[in-house]
Amino acid sequence: MKKYMFKRILFSIFSLLVVVMLVMLLVYSLIERNVIFQQDDVWNKRNNNDRRMYEYAQFQKYGYLNYVDYTSFLREKYMSKYGESYDKEADFATDRGVIQKPDDVWQNPTVQEFKAKYEAQGYKLDYMEPVRYKSGKLKAGGNGYLVAVQEKSVVLRLWDYMKNFFTIETSKDVDDPNLTERYVHFEKDPYSGLFALTGSGTTHKYLLYFDSRFPFIHQNFLRLNLGTSYTTYRGSEITQVISSPTGVAEKVRQQYPAMVGTDEYVETAIDFHSVTYNPNTSEAELAQFGDNYSSYTTRKTGLSMLETSFIIGIISLIIAYSLGLPLGILVARRKDKLADKLGNAYIIFIMAVPSLAYIFLFAAIGTTLFNLPYKFANSTNKALAFVLPVISLALPQIGSLMKWMRRYMIDQMNSDYVKFARAEGLSEKEIYRIHISRNALIYLVHGIPSSILFCLTGAIMTERVYGVPGVGNLLTTAINKHDNGIIVACTVFYTSLSILAVILGDVLLAKYDPRISLSSEGGGGR
C-alpha cells in the first residue's frame, strides 16, 4: 500500500509538471505576445526605440524573456571601479556615448566585452540605432540602445517557476549585518494569550500563531508562490491575492508591542501578527514596535476571495448532500410513482437546460418573489447576499446527486442479497436503510473529496451572475487579459486539487468498501 501510494504521488508530480509545461507552451508560444500591448497606454505614448525598450521590459515582466541593458552593465562595471561617483568619470561617458554612434559602436572595447560576456551565456545582442531626422536631430524616443536578449525556453521557464515554488523561512533570511540576534523559538503570544512560534532574522516575526480569524491557526514559515499576476493584480503574488482579506480596515482596541504590559491601548487596524522585517525602520517606529519588525498589513472586515468562494461552495455542498441523497433514496423507493416522476422531471430540467438559464431563473425568482439581494456588491446585508449564490449552486448538485443515487439504488434493488434479505423477513425500511443505500453509496463516496476540494476553485457562472468577489473567475479574466502568471498559477492550483481529489477519493473508497484494494492489479473491472 505504501509503495503503491508512493508511486501514485510520484506519478502525480510528474503529470503536474507536464501539465504546467503544456500550459506554458500554450500561453507563451501559441499566443502572439504583442497582444499584451493592445490596451497599454504607456506603449501607445512611446515611440521608436523607447517603445522597443518598453516592450523588452514588459516581455521580461511577463516572463517571455530575460534581457540585459548595456547601460546597466556599464553602471555595474564602473561602480565597482570608481564607487558611487562613477558617472563623473570620462571613460564612463565615452563608453556610454558610443551607443549613439552606430559607426563606432562595435569597435569600443567595453561593448566588445559586453558582447563576449552575454553571447557566451546564450544571449543575442540587439542594437537599436539612434533614429534621427535628416537634419541629424533625434526623433522622439529615438535614442540608441544596446541590449542582450535571452528567449526563455519552456524548460528554463519551468525551472524558474519551480525554483521559487516553495520558500521556507529561516533565521538567516534577513540580510542585515546589524541584526545580531537570530533565533526561531516558541514564546507566549501577547495578542492571542496562547503560545506562538516566533523568529528573529526571519522575514515574518510570527511563524505560527493563533487568532480569532478562520481557520484560527496560521503559519508564515512555508510560503507557496504560485506565480505573479502581471495585469489583473499588478505585480502581486497570486497566493496573496486570493488569500488576503478584502473590504475596509477594521480598527480594534489593541497594544503596540512596546505597550504590552502597560495599561496603554490604541485604536488601530494593524494586524500585529503580520509584521515583517523592515531594515529602514524609523526611530519612531522602533519605539512603537520594539524591534525592526515594523512592516504590517491591516485587519480588514471582509473575507478573502478564497474564503468567499469556499463558504458558498461548502454550504451548498452540505445542502446538496443532505437533501440530494435522501431524495434519491425516496424516488428510488417510489419508482414509477408520482414522487419518482416529479423527481425525474427535476433531474431532466437540471441536466438538459443550460446552467446559465436556471441560474438566471433562480435569480429572477429570488429577487422578485423573495426580495433577496441580486448583486453581491450592492447588498447591504452581506449574509443575505450569500443566499441566492448558495441556492443556485446547491439545486443543480441536488439534481445530479439524486440522479446517481436513484440510478444506483435501482441497480441494487434487483440484487440477490436484497431478495435474500427480504426472504429473511427484514422490513422494507431496514432493507433500504441498511442494505441498499449503503451499497449504493459506494459509488458516490469517490466523489466526496473532489466536491469538497473543488469548492476552493469557486464557480464561474454563479459568481459572475451575482457579482461574487470570489476566485471562480480568476482564470477567465486572466485569459481575457493575457495574464500569463495567473493562468499558470490557476493551472497548478486546479491540477493539484484534482490529483489530490482522485487520490483521496480512492483512499476513502477503499476505507468505505473493504472489498476494494487499491494496490492489486486486477484483470478487468474499473
Partner 1 sequence: MNEKKKVPQSSEDLFQFIDSNSISSEKIVAPRYSYWKSVFRVFFRKKINIFLIAAFVFILLVAFIMPNFWKYDPNENVTNAATFNLSPAKALKYFNNGAFSLKWCLGTGALGNSIFYGIVASSQTSLLLAIICAAINMSIGIVIGAVWGYSKKLDAVMLVIYNIIANVPYILLISVLVYVIGSGFWSFIFALTVTGWLGIAYFFRTQVMVIRDREYSLASRCLGTPVNRVISKNILPFLTSVIVTLLATELPSYINMEVFLSYIGVGLSATVPTLGRMIQQGQTAFMTFPHAFWPPVAVASAITIILYLLGQNLADASDPRTHM
3-state helix, strand, coil in the chain (%, to 5): 55, 15, 30
Stretch (H or E) spanning 434: none
Q: Using CB atoms within 10 A of its CB, is residue 360 exposed (0-12), middle (13-18) or buried (19+)?
A: middle
* Cβ proximity of 59 and 37 under 8 Å: no
The CB-of-28 to partner 1 minimum distance in angstroms stands at 11
* Cβ proximity of 443 and 403 under 8 Å: no
Nearer to partner 1, 221 or 494 (CB): 494
The CB-of-190 to partner 1 minimum distance in angstroms stands at 45
Q: How far is CA 441 from CA 25, 214, 326, 427, 497, in A?
A: 41, 32, 11, 20, 23
The CB-of-19 to partner 1 minimum distance in angstroms stands at 5
d(CA 105, CA 129): 10
Reading the block at residue 453, the C-alpha cell is 476540494
* Cβ proximity of 185 and 197 under 8 Å: yes
Coil, strand or helix at 52: helix
The CB-of-363 to partner 1 minimum distance in angstroms stands at 8
Nearer to partner 1, 144 or 458 (CB): 458
Nearer to partner 1, 19 or 311 (CB): 19
The CB-of-494 to partner 1 minimum distance in angstroms stands at 6
Q: Which long-range contacts (CB under 8 A, 24 or more apart) does 381-385 make?
A: 385/466
Nearer to partner 1, 82 or 346 (CB): 346
Nearer to partner 1, 200 or 231 (CB): 231
Nearer to partner 1, 451 or 462 (CB): 462
Nearer to partner 1, 128 or 226 (CB): 226
Q: Which long-range contacts (CB under 8 A, 24 or more apart) does 238-245 make?
A: 238/474, 238/485, 238/486, 238/489, 241/305, 242/304, 242/305, 242/306, 242/471, 242/474, 243/304, 243/305, 243/306, 244/297, 244/300, 244/304, 245/299, 245/300, 245/301, 245/302, 245/303, 245/304, 245/307
Q: Which of 490, 510, 377, 408 is nearest to 449 (CA)?
A: 510
Nearer to partner 1, 440 or 499 (CB): 499
Q: Which residues bind partner 1 (CB under 8 A)?
A: 15-16, 18-19, 22-23, 26-27, 30-31, 348-349, 351-357, 360, 364, 367, 374, 460-461, 464-465, 473, 475-476, 479-480, 487, 490-491, 494-495, 498-499, 523-526
Nearer to partner 1, 295 or 344 (CB): 344
d(CA 146, CA 105): 10
